[in-house]
Each structure stands twice: as structure tokens, then as C-alpha cells.
Amino acid sequence: MTTYVLIHGAASGSWYWHLLEAELRARGHDVVAPDLPCDDDSAGLSEYADAVVEAVGDRTGLVVVAQSLGGFTAPLVCERVPVELLVLLTAMIPSPGETAGDWWAATGWERARRERDERDGRAPDDDIALFLHDVPPALAAEAGRRGRDQSATPFTEPWPLTSWPAVPTRFLLCRDDRFFPAEFTRRVVRERLGIVPDEMDGGHAVALARPRELADRLEAYTRPGTASGPGR
């Protein structure tokens, strides 16, 4: 049995994963999906990792899946508990000493995002169109109601690791992601991890839009001979 450890992104919570969690549990897997202390100004990256490690407890067979800002927390978890595979899902990839606040300029995100918005003819402040465009309307509305305040604290702290953890790593890119455009993400993954990302259809909130397909992809990663990346 695999234990999937699901780490949500900024201003979010464990609810984001509820459809994927149901899919994975129905297939016989265990799932850990903690709420990070994102609305607590006293909590930084270490406290985010603490929340995950505490939720994991003594479970084994861990596959850590991190979405968006969760990419800054997941490698810290991998340094503290035995992880078999790290999957970055539409996630930020930190460099040693970099803050999440500096990541945007360091990667060239703003230009990539602006060019994508202009190409699509989309207003940059339309969060539904940006994050939830492929999520069923009722579910998208519920996601909006369940949004949480996001403290700036984890965006100001330098990422503390000196190198990527020695854990097999995959990156799953969503081709319809409007927040992290696909062409931008392909470049960042290549430059920062030295791997080619895997790809699937879907936007930034793929766990809400395509939970069954996402579960299929995550299960496929646990088959022998599929893990790769900088930790291999």
C-alpha cells in the first residue's frame, strides 16, 4: 500500500485534495492531506514542514505530492521522513537560499504570465478564469468559499536546503495551467531539476478538475522502473 502525502498550495487547505483523496482511498491507498498553517503569521517553512511530518506520523511507503507553493515545503519533508518518491504538481521549484517571494522574478514568471494573458485575451485579475477555468462551476464556487488567508511569512524566508534532497523526483505539468504557463514551466523544470516534466491536460487546480486522471498518473509513478530525477 502506498501512502500519498498531499501538500496544498498557498491560501488553500486539505479540502483542495478531497476528490483525489477519495480516488486514491478507493484504490486501497492511504492518504495524508494536512492543513498547513498558511493563515498564521508566526509560521514559516519549518512550521509548514512540521505540520506535514506530524500528520505522517509513523507511516511508510510515502509518495509526497506537492502543488504550487507546496514545492517549497515538500523537499523539507523529504529530509525528515523516508520518502520513496516526490511528485511536484504544477509546483514552484526553489533554489538554495531563494525566498518564495524572489522566485517570481528569478524564474521570469511575470513576463511569461503576462504574455499568456495577452495571448488568451484574459483580464489578469480574473481569479476564476486563471485558477478554476476547467473546474465545474459549483465546485469552483465552493473552492472560492473555502479559500484561506495566506500569510506572507513563508514568502520571506530563504529556502534552507543547500541541494535538492536525495529522493527520486518527478514533475507533472498541466498543459492548460494559466498561472504557471506550460512553456514557462518546461524551462524552469529543465533549468532547476535537469529533467523533462511529464504532462497531462488540466489547469492549475487539476486535483479538482481531473481527480481520476490525476490518480491514474500518480499510481503509474509507483510502478517499478518509473521513478527518475535529481534524487535518483
Residue 114 has pLDDT above 80, yes or no: yes
pLDDT tens readout for residues 17-76: 999 999 999 999 999 999 999 999 999 999 999 999 999 999 999 999 999 999 999 999
pLDDT tens readout for residues 140-177: 999 999 999 999 999 999 999 999 999 999 999 999 99
Average pLDDT (72-90) is: 98
Degrees, nearest 5: CA angle 69-72-77? 120
pLDDT of residue 226: 62
Q: Distance between CA 13 and CA 38 in Å, rounded?
A: 8
Q: What percent of the chain has pLDDT over 90?
A: 90
What's the fold here for domain 3-221?
A: Rossmann fold (3.40.50)
- The pLDDT mean for the chain works out to 95
Instruction: Report residue 230's pLDDT band, with 50, 70 and 90 as the boundaries.
Output: low
Residue 225 has pLDDT above 70, yes or no: no
Instruction: Report residue 232's pLDDT band, with 50, 70 and 90 as the boundaries.
Output: very low
Residue 228 has pLDDT above 60, yes or no: no
Q: Which residues fall within 8 angstroms of residue 203, CB to CB, at 6 or more apart?
A: 131, 132, 133, 134, 135, 174, 176, 177, 178, 179, 209
- pTM of the predicted model, to two decimals? 0.95
Average pLDDT (194-208) is: 98
Residue 229 has pLDDT above 80, yes or no: no
Cell of 197: 516534466
Q: What are the residue ranges spanned by the domains of the chain?
A: 3-221
From 153, 183, 143, 171, select the one nearest 46 (Cα to Cα). 153
Q: What percent of the chain has pLDDT over 70?
A: 96
